[in-house]
Structure 1
Amino acid sequence: MEQKLLKLTDELIQNTETIKATFAEVKQANEKRDFYKEVKPFADQVKILLDEWEPLAIKWLKEHSVKNVHPQQIAHTTENLDMISIQCFFPETSLKRFRHYAESVEYVLKSLQKAIKDLNES
């Protein structure tokens, strides 16, 4: 279970990097991306990962106490990542709000990733 959770967490971190890069490109060009060619396929891919990751992460956190990550944060991270995976394609998205959600998502994902790796090393 841990290896699967770590793999999914790594993939979500990579997707978050892609989301941030896409948002920067969209903001700079000030152009929406095509919904059916880019937005929906990408958001669907992220959603599939999140649907698999969330229950595993919550189960793992209930079995292992992690100082700064709690099951409720996993649910919020799932919602936030799902949301920004769509919003990153639209230039009218608030930069401040987007950055807040992206940083929150990254914090939880990287904290979970570190906790899993630290546990495996000990």
Structure 2
Amino acid sequence: MEGKLLELTEALLQKTYQIKTIFEEVKKTNQERDFYQEVKPFADEVKAKLDQWEPLAIEWLKDNPVKHLHPQQITHTAENLDMISIQCFFPKTSLTRFRHYAESVEYVLKNLLLAIQNKKS
């Protein structure tokens, strides 16, 4: 379980960086991306990973409490990442709001990753 959680957390962190890059490009060009060609396949891929990650992360946190991470944060992180995986493709998305969600997601993923790595070593 721990290996799979580590792998999924790393993959979601990479997706978060990718989402931030996409958002910067979309804001710069001010052009929406094609929904069926780009947005939906990308969001579906993120959602599939989140559907596997969320229950594993919650279960792992129950067995391995981490000082500043709680199961509720995992749920919020999954919801926020799912949301920004779609919003990043639209230039009308609020920059401040997007950054807030992206930073929140990144914070939780990095802390979980660190906690898993510390437990393994």
Asked whether the two chains share a fold, i.e. TM above 0.5, the reply is: yes
Letter in 2 for 1:10: E
User: Is 1:65 the equivalent of 2:65?
Assistant: yes
Q: Normalization by structure 2: what TM-score? A: 1.00
Deviations 1:79-118 (CA, angstroms, capped at 9, x unpaired): 0000000000000000000000000000000000000000
Gaps (5+ residues) in structure 2?
none
Gaps (5+ residues) in structure 1?
none
Percentage of identical aligned residues: 69
Deviation of 1:5 (Å)? 0.1
- Number of residue pairs the alignment of both structures matches: 121
For residues 86 and 25 of structure 1, the distance between their equivalents in structure 2, rounded to whole angstroms, comes to 14
- What is residue 83 of structure 2 aligned with on the other side? 83
> What is the SS of the residue equivalent to 1:113?
helix
Alignment of 1:45-56 (within 5 A): 45-56=45-56
Q: Normalization by structure 1: what TM-score? A: 0.99
Letter in 2 for 1:72: Q
> What is the SS of the residue equivalent to 2:81?
helix
Q: CA RMSD in A?
A: 0.2
Q: Which runs of 4+ in 1 moved over 4 A?
A: none
Deviation of 1:120 (Å)? 0.5
Alignment of 1:8-27 (within 5 A): 8-27=8-27
